[in-house]
Structure formats: C-alpha cells, structure tokens
Amino acid sequence: MSRRISPVIPGFGLTLGYTLVYLSLLVLIPLGALFLKTTDLTWAQFIQVISAPRVLAALKLSFSTAFFAALINGVIGTLLAWVLVRYTFPGRKIIDAMIDLPFALPTAVAGIALTALYAPKGLIGSLAADIGLKIAYTPLGITLALTFVTLPFVVRTVQPVLADIPREVEEAAACLGAKPLQVARHVLLPALLPAWLTGFALAFARGVGEYGSVIFIAGNMPMKTEILPLLIMVKLDQYDYTGATAIGVLMLVVSFILLLAINLLQRRIETP
Amino acid sequence: MTSATLTANANSARRGNPLARRLLIAGAWLVFALFLLLPLLVVLSEAFKQGVGTFFTAILEPDAISALKLTLTAVAIAVPLNLVFGVSAAWCVSKYEFTGKSLLVTLIDLPFSVSPVIAGLIYVLLFGAQGYFGQWLSDHDIQIVFAIPGIVLATIFVTVPFVARELIPLMQEQGTQEEEAARLLGANGWQMFWHVTLPNIKWGLIYGVVLCTARAMGEFGAVSVVSGHIRGLTNTLPLHVEILYNEYNHVAAFSVASLLLALALIILLLKQWSEARLSRLKSNADEE
Amino acid sequence: MSIRTLSLSLIASALFAAPALAQTTLLNVSYDPTRELYVEYNKAFNKHWTAQGNEAVTVQQSHGGSGKQARAVIDGLKADVVTLALAGDIDELHKLGKLIPENWQERLPQASTPYTSTIVFLVRKGNPKNIKDWGDLTKDGVEVITPNPKTSGGARWNFLAAWAWAQQHYGSEAKAQEYVKALYQHVPVLDTGARASTITFVNNQIGDVLLAWENEAFLALKEQGGDQFEIVAPSLSILAEPPVSVVDKNVDKHGTRKVAEAYLQYLYSEEGQRIAAKNFYRPRNEKVAAEFAQQFPNLKLVTIDKDFGGWKTAQPKFFNDGGVFDQIYQAQ
C-alpha cells in the first residue's frame, strides 16, 4: 500500500481547495460565531461558568455515558460487522439493511420509544425492576439511549475494511498453524484497528452531544442525570446566550481534542 | 510441517469452529432484536393501534404532506452537496501526504461531535435578528433562520461528514497503485477518476449517501432550533412527529414516524438490492 | 447521475407544489398547552372578522416552550402576535429585542391577560396515596411529577404555588425553602416541558401526582378518559396569568397591525371568553365565568404581582442561576 506522496495523481489542489472552502463556509465560520460570542465573557467569567458544580456534574455524566456507550458499541458493533461479513445465515440481509435505522429514526422518536420500553412500567423496564434494576431516569438509561443512536458507527466503519481483507490471508496464517487468537491478534487487529478507532471516536463524540433521544429517558435531575446539551438549553431559556456558548465551546474543544488525538494515534498505527 | 497438517489446518480454517460460529450468529441476532427491532416494534405497534385507516389519515393530512415536502427538499439539497464534498475530501486525504492532514480529518469529523443544539444555535448567532448578520439580512428582507434556508443549512451541517467518513478508510485501504497505473497508461485525471477510482469506491459511496440521506431525513435537534415550528410551513417530518405527540395524538405521531422509517427502509433495501444485482452481473462477466 | 436528476425533480416538485397564500396571514407564536384553544379560536375569529366585511385571514400557529418561543421571536421569528405562558417572557421581547414598547401590558384589559388558569394536582383514580394538599406531597413514598422550572413556564407557576402555600403554612421563607427542597426530592423525573411531564405521568405511568396547569389537567382527563385520573384542588394555589401582545415591529413591517389587534381584542369578547372556558381556561368576563362556574373548583389564589412582586423580582430570585431553585439542588 502506498502511503507516500503520489505526484502522478492529479487533483490535489482542486480537492484540497474545495474541501477547505466548503468546510470553512459551512462548518468553521458558523462555529467561529460560537467562539466569537463567547469572547463577550472575560476569562474569569468563562472559568466561572464552566466550573460551576452543575456544569461539572453534567460534564462528567455526558462524557462517561458517551464513553461507555461507545465501548459497548465497540464490542457489539465489531461482533455485528464480523457476523455480517463472514457468515451467511437466515436474516443476514435484513439485519444488514436495518443497522442504519438509528440514524434515520428521529432522535425524539427513539427517545420516546426507548422510554416506553425501559420505564419502570415498560416491557423491559418492568422485568428489570423485578430484579431491582432501574434503567430509565438513571445514567444507565442514558447510556442505553446513546448506545442505540450510535450503534451504526462502529459497524459501518469496520464492515467495509473487514470485507476488504482477503480471507486467504487468515487462511494462510491458519495453515501455518496459527491459533484463532493469534490470527485475530496478528492479522485482523492491525488491519481493523484504525477503522475500529474511528468508529469508536465517532460514536463517542456523537454521544456527548446527543440531545433529542436522551432528554426523554434521562430524568434530567440537576447534578444527577442532567446532560450538557440540556444545560445549554437551560442557559438559553434564561436568555443567557454567552453562558450557553461558553458550555458549547467547552464541549467543542474537548471533543475536538479527543477526535484529533484518535486521528493522530490512528496515523501512527498506520505508518509504523 | 507435513502437507497433511497443512491440509487439515486449511480445512479447519475454512470451516471455522462451528460452535463459535453459531454463538456469534446467535449473539448478533440477540443484539439486533434487543437494540433495533424492539424499539421499532414499539413505534409500529403504536402506529397501527387503531388500524390502517387512522394510519393513512395521519400521513395524508395536509400538514404531514407539507412536512414531507420540506424534509425531501432539505434532503435533496443537502445530500448532493455533501456527496461532492465527501468525494473531494476523501480524495485529498487518502491520496496525498501533507502536513495538517490529521487536523483536516478531525475538522471533517467535527460536525458529528457538535451537539445538535449547538448546530442550530450557531446559525441563530449568525443569521438571527440579534446575530452578526441579522441587521444586514433584515435590511435586505432576507429570512434565513426560522425559514427554509435555515433548515437546509442545519441539515447540511449535521450530515457533512457522512460520505467523507465512509470513503476515507476505504480509499486509504485501497492505496494509490491502480490510479498510478492508470496514469502511466496515459489516462487523464477525469478518466482515471471515472474508470478506476469510482468503480472501486462505489459501494462506500453508496453507503455514505444512504447514511447521509437517512440522517438528513431524521435530524431533529438542530432543525428544531432553527425551524420556528410554524405548522404547515417550517415543520419537517421529525418536528411534525413531535408536534403530534405533544397534542396527545400518539397514534398519528407514530404513524408519521413509521412513514419516516419506511422511507429509510426503502432506501436501505434499494441499496442492498442494487448491490446484490451488480455483484451478480460482475460475477457473470468474470465467468465469461 | 440518477441521484441528481431525482433530487432536481424533488426540488422542483416541492417548490411548485408550495401552497400559494394569497390572503393575509397572521403568525401567532404561543406556548405548549394552548394548541387546542387556538385551533378553535382561530376559526371563530375568522368568522367574526369576515362578518365585519374583512378579507379572511389565515392564522398560522407555532407552539413550544414559552421561553424558547420568546427567544425565537427575539431572534427573528416573524410573529405578529405572541400568546405566552408568563409576562416575564414577553418582557424580554422589549428588553432584548426592542420589538414592543415597555408598557405593552397596559395596552389591553387585565394587564393583557385575557384568560387565567391555576395549578392543580392530577392523581390516579381513587387517589390511592390520599393526596389532598401540598403538605401530602412530601409524605414518604409519594412521587411527584413536575417539569423543570428552568426550561418550563408552567413549572415556574408550580414552584411558586408550592412556595406560596408553604410560606403561609409554615410562616417563613426559610421554612418555605425547606419545604420546596423536600418536595423536589420527591420528584423522580424533571421533564423539559409541561406536556412532557403530563406524558410521563399519564403514558409512562410514573409518579403518584402530577402538578399541572388546570387546563392541562382537564385536557388530560378529556383525552385519556376520566376513569384513570382525578383532579385534586389544593387549599391554596396561584393565579396563573398567561399574557398576549402584538409584536409591534413585525406587524408594522407586515402591515397587519389592524387585524393583529382585532385578533387579540376578540379574545376578550363573550365568544372568545367562552372558547377559552370550553378549553378549560378561566375566563375574565364575569358573565361567562358564571356560566362555567361549575367547571372550575373554587380556590384561594395568590397572584404573581401582589405576592411575589411580579416576574421582574420572582424570576431572578427563584429561577436564574444561583437562585432558590439552584440552591435546593446544590445543597444536596
């Protein structure tokens, strides 16, 4: 695989230029407005807004639930991708087609449906309540909702790469006496890891910002089950635009750093 | 290693461990049933609770139709734009080395991680009456937020990364040899793109477009902030669902939600069908 | 490319099929529970308006949380009239948006509040937890459903009603604060809006009592059938006064001032008041109020202006960052 500069392939200037202009107009300039609005605050005020106990509690909640949701998806997403690529079995095509539905289902509908299922009187919630487990209106419920809305990320990033790894490579390794775990470790893992990390990072980042599906199932109790995007809404409803943008900037910066770190890590894996 | 062991190893590698295989398939089904099927069944069972008649009344109501039109308009503008962007971004990221590449990839991903609440808010900060361009827009009688342009902008924003995200890993995996070979054989840039690159990335591209379309149709949070919720005018389908739900009209709400689901499902199935068909065509061609 | 052709034809069909609105339109930006009220009222107003020899008018409706709706109007939603949950939200239209004059409340009778409501309890049929008054809400094992006062106008009225009762009952502000703190410890879910809370209580069957607008509670009874819930009137509650106003800057631009003003004035007519009462809002007109006296329980009511010094005082004291509501959660 060539990973060096390819002077014979044209279009570098055109595609990079177009990419940058498009991103600037639609993403960077609008996000710049968010930063600009925040500059209405002094540093001290900014620190005061983001270090309020409620903001910190929400920060912890949003990031930890998103992390666990991404982790769960990292496992079951890889499982789903593996099964869909490697096996033929009844219903495979249906599962494959429907994996993307969480993207299409409006998040509010997802929230309403999940709450109906997992509330203490709901189909699954009542079963869980029998064994003393409370799902809706707890961080567990939030994690569940986030797992649902971000499910397609890992599956859809891992799946094409997995399909592209020639089966013969694994078979060759196995022929040479490698145990299944060795095959997984030395053949599959290096090839899959970049895609897996991307899927994980995207699921995580999306989970942190998710609003519609979570507010129904979260319970929204200050200090306990209140997520960051809800705090932004709360600030806006008090006409506190700068406070809202300050939290927005905080979320954005943290997500950006995380995504950047994972993209850098991924490049290090790819170019040893 | 004797040739006998080699053959035995090869056989077991091809067959795999039957128990593990069954367990994995069962696991996939379980995850699918619990995480995907069950919530969807809730939506569908609510929608058809009062029979097919009520379902059709709900989705054929004028407000629902106008919401559908608005949603399709937003999709029809957002998806082609993001398609062209995605190909272009994936191209420059996967075919060349340059400083700041990781930064660029991160910026492309960024809209995924921006909360829908913020995605809507930024356009209000820019184009709202109190926003940075508010005065100018108002002097020229241009309405962006709380009108259709705002809804389109918010939809574009949240779906920017989808196509690029599907293509980048795929094109990186494929490398550049084929394109280089095409160039050496005298193809010009466009010929190389149409005849070498595009066929290779076709499925990734279709995946990306499908996801982009699905997400554009379903977007709720960001659109909600810039819509203004004027019934029959600036309500998209997801917002219409919320309105119906809030009016105690649960059956209608879930009916319209099922309509969205059905639309998404049709797109997803079309993708699968064309994929299967094309791969059959290809294998036929290979045999001849 | 087929996708492009498809999308072009979709755009075209969407553009050409857009309904042509030749006649005058009014945009009424309102809060959540008034949907049913204005559907009926808009028809009645149109009849009245055309009977006077005017051209028919299309009234467009937008509903949402009161604060969110006010914000949208400030940010450029072209509302001709606003009909919101509390005067504090309309005040912001003057303060932040310069869209209306400061004295907007003096322009219509009763401080521009054509109908009122109050806060009552909705309990499950037979009142199994025997909830009669505010004091019962903090008993062991009682779960209370109310939305978040930070995001919901209705929730602010709930909070103030509870506060008013506690202050009279226990005699001091400190005790009142202790009471509301205990009350909110009995709340398992804080939804973002009044409707969301009703749905949590009614559909997801969470909680033993819902604190709700009176009109919202009646509507829930009507929609869900009276055999599952009943309304309990506490010994003391608050007079909730949802105000209305013309948005001067927008009506002058649209040339709709005349019809917008007539639209709001007609709310005070007997017909308008009757429609409000039929939708479970308490009418201001005494004659209509007498007709519907049976419908509304007789309650002792405090008011925001007399007992809390108006929204200008109450909002920062109770609900802004660092206010009483934050304190009762912070101190846990």
Q: Which domains does chain C have, with CATH numbers?
A: 25-113+241-267 (3.40.190.10), 117-240+299-330 (3.40.190.10)
Take residue B86 and report the two structure tokens written for it. 């995605």
Closest CA to C268 of C109, C72, C153, C70: C109
Whether residue A226 has pLDDT greater than 60: yes
Whole-number mean pLDDT of chain C? 89
Q: How confident is the model at residue A98 (pLDDT cuts 50, 70, 90)?
A: confident
Q: How far is CA A48 from CA A33, A62, A221, B130, in A?
A: 21, 19, 22, 25
Distance CA C206, CA A139 (A): 17
> What distance in Å separates residue C74's CA from the closest CA in chain A?
10
Phi and psi at B49, nearest 5°, equal -55, -40
Distance CA B75, CA A143 (A): 29
> What distance in Å separates residue A44's CA from the closest CA in chain B?
23
Q: According to the model, what pLDDT value does residue B4 have?
A: 53
- Containing A67, the helix (H) or strand (E) segment is helix A53-86
Q: Are C326 and A222 a contacting pair at CB < 8 A?
A: yes
Q: Is C102 exposed, middle or buried (0-12, 13-18, 19+ CB in 10 A)?
A: exposed
Sort out which chain A residues have CB atoms less than 8 A from C189's CB and list them.
137, 219-221
Q: Is C7 exposed, middle or buried (0-12, 13-18, 19+ CB in 10 A)?
A: buried
How high is the ipTM of this complex? 0.83
The chain B residues in contact with chain C (CB within 8 A) are 66, 69-70, 72-73, 75-77, 79-80, 83, 124, 127-131, 134, 138, 143, 145-146, 209, 228-233, 243, 245-248, 250
Q: Are C190 and A52 a contacting pair at CB < 8 A?
A: no
Q: How confident is the model at residue A135 (pLDDT cuts 50, 70, 90)?
A: confident
Whether residue C92 has pLDDT greater than 80: yes
Sign of the Cα torsion C37, B229, A248, B165 reads positive
Closest CA to A225 of C187, B98, B255: C187
Q: Identify which of A73-82, B3-12, B223-232, C15-24 has the greatest average pLDDT.
A: A73-82
Task: Look at the block and give the residue holding tokens 């001849």.
Answer: B288
Neighbours of C228 (CB within 10 A): 12
Q: Which residue of A has its CA nearest to C319?
A: A238
Q: Are A240 and C321 a contacting pair at CB < 8 A?
A: yes
Helices (H), chain C: 2-16, 35-51, 66-74, 87-95, 109-112, 153-170, 173-185, 194-202, 214-224, 248-254, 257-265, 270-278, 286-291, 304-308, 311-314, 324-330
Whether residue C154 has pLDDT greater than 80: yes
Q: Are A148 and B109 a contacting pair at CB < 8 A?
A: no
Q: How far is CA C125 from CA A35, B163, C208, C225, in A?
A: 52, 54, 10, 11
Distance CA A22, CA B284 (A): 41
Sort out which chain A residues have CB atoms less than 8 A from B14's CB and list them.
171
Distance CA A28, CA A36 (A): 12
Average pLDDT over residues A94-117: 84
Sort out which chain A residues have CB atoms less than 8 A from B183's CB and list them.
8-10
Task: Look at the block and give the residue holding tokens 């949070």.
Answer: B221
Sort out which chain C residues have CB atoms less than 8 A from B245's CB and list them.
199
Sort out which chain C residues have CB atoms less than 8 A from A240's CB and list them.
321
A67-76, A199-208, B63-72, C130-139: which range is least confident on average? A199-208
Give all chains having 3 or more CB-to-CB distances under 8 Å with chain A.
B, C
Q: According to the model, what pLDDT value does residue A1 have?
A: 36
Average pLDDT over residues C2-21: 46
Q: Which domains does chain A have, with CATH numbers?
A: 43-270 (1.10.3720.10)
Residue pairs spanning A and C at CB distance below 8 A: 72
Q: How far is CA C22 from CA B62, B223, C44, C55, C61, in A?
A: 18, 27, 21, 11, 18
Sort out which chain A residues have CB atoms less than 8 A from C330's CB and list them.
53-54, 223
Q: Is C27 in the B-facing interface, judged by CB distances under 8 Å?
A: yes
Q: Is A139 in the C-facing interface, judged by CB distances under 8 Å?
A: no
Q: Please, which residues bridge with residue C118 across strands?
A: C239
Q: According to the model, what pLDDT value does residue B13 have?
A: 47
Residue type, position B236, single letter:
T
Cβ partners under 8 Å of residue C310, min gap 6: C87, C304
Sort out which chain A residues have CB atoms less than 8 A from B257's CB and list them.
105-106, 109
One-letter-per-residue 3-state SS of A187-203: HHHHHHHHHHHHHHHHH
Distance CA B178, CA A9 (A): 10
| Residue B270 · residue B264 · CB < 8 Å | no
Average pLDDT over residues B106-127: 90
- Containing C63, the helix (H) or strand (E) segment is strand C57-64
| Residue B195 · residue B146 · CB < 8 Å | no
Of C71, C203, C321, the CB nearest to A236: C71
Answer with the residue of higher pLDDT: C106 or B5.
Answer: C106
Q: Is C21 in the B-facing interface, judged by CB distances under 8 Å?
A: no
Name the pairing type of β-strands C144-145 and C209-213.
parallel
Phi and psi at B145, nearest 5°, equal -80, 155
Distance CA C41, CA C32 (A): 15
> What distance in Å separates residue C62's CA from the closest CA in chain B?
5
pTM: 0.86
Q: Are A97 and B271 a contacting pair at CB < 8 A?
A: yes
Cβ partners under 8 Å of residue B241, min gap 6: A106, A108, A109, B253, B254, B256, B257, B260
Q: Is B56 exposed, middle or buried (0-12, 13-18, 19+ CB in 10 A)?
A: exposed
Distance CA C308, CA C278 (A): 30
Write out pLDDT tens, residues A101-112.
887 788 888 888
Write out pLDDT tens, residues C243-254.
999 999 999 999
Q: Is A96 in the C-facing interface, judged by CB distances under 8 Å?
A: no
> What distance in Å separates residue A85's CA from the closest CA in chain B?
11
Helices (H), chain B: 3-15, 18-31, 38-47, 51-60, 62-95, 101-113, 116-127, 134-139, 148-159, 161-174, 177-184, 189-192, 198-218, 221-227, 237-246, 250-287
Q: How confident is the model at residue C18 (pLDDT cuts 50, 70, 90)?
A: very low
Q: According to the model, what pLDDT value does residue A93 have?
A: 83
Distance CA B60, CA B54 (A): 10
Distance CA C242, CA C110 (A): 11
Phi and psi at B138, nearest 5°, equal -65, -40
Q: Are A103 and B268 a contacting pair at CB < 8 A?
A: no
Alpha-carbon dihedral angle through residues C279, C284, C286, C291, given to the nearest 10 degrees: 10
Q: Is C228 in the A-facing interface, judged by CB distances under 8 Å?
A: no
| Residue C154 · residue C194 · CB < 8 Å | yes
Neighbours of B139 (CB within 10 A): 8
Q: Are C319 and A222 a contacting pair at CB < 8 A?
A: no
| Residue C29 · residue C66 · CB < 8 Å | no
Q: According to the model, what pLDDT value does residue A7 have?
A: 62
Sort out which chain C residues have CB atoms less than 8 A from B246's CB and list them.
32, 35, 63, 195-196
Alpha-carbon dihedral angle through residues C141, C144, C149, C154, given to the nearest 10 degrees: -160
Neighbours of C20 (CB within 10 A): 5
Distance CA A170, CA C154 (A): 63
| Residue B94 · residue A14 · CB < 8 Å | no
Q: Name which of A239, A240, A247 to mutate to probe chain C: the one with the most chain C Cβ atoms within 10 A of its Cβ.
A: A239
Q: Are A110 and B39 a contacting pair at CB < 8 A?
A: yes
Q: Which residue of B has its CA nearest to C77?
A: B146
* % of residues, chain C, pLDDT over 70: 92
Q: Which residue of B has its CA nearest to A73?
A: B31
Q: Are C320 and A234 a contacting pair at CB < 8 A?
A: no
Distance CA A11, CA C83 (A): 56
* % of residues, chain B, pLDDT over 90: 26
Q: What is the DSSP code string of C123-185?
A: EETT-TT---SGGGGGSTT--EE---TTT-HHHHHHHHHHHHHHHHHH-SHHHHHHHHHHHHH
| Residue B238 · residue B218 · CB < 8 Å | yes
Write out pLDDT tens, residues B6-48.
454 444 544 567 888 888 899 889 888 888 889 888 888 888 8
Sort out which chain C residues have CB atoms less than 8 A from B228's CB and list them.
62, 72, 77
Q: Please, which residues bridge with residue C245 across strands?
A: C82
Sort out which chain C residues have CB atoms less than 8 A from A122's CB and list them.
204
Name the pairing type of β-strands C115-124 and C282-283.
antiparallel
Q: Are B209 and C3 a contacting pair at CB < 8 A?
A: yes
Take residue A220 and report the two structure tokens written for it. 């929204």
Whether residue A75 has pLDDT greater than 80: yes
Whether residue C17 has pLDDT greater than 50: no
Take residue C92 and report the two structure tokens written for it. 């912001």
> What distance in Å separates residue C29's CA from the closest CA in chain B?
8
Q: According to the model, what pLDDT value does residue A16 have?
A: 92
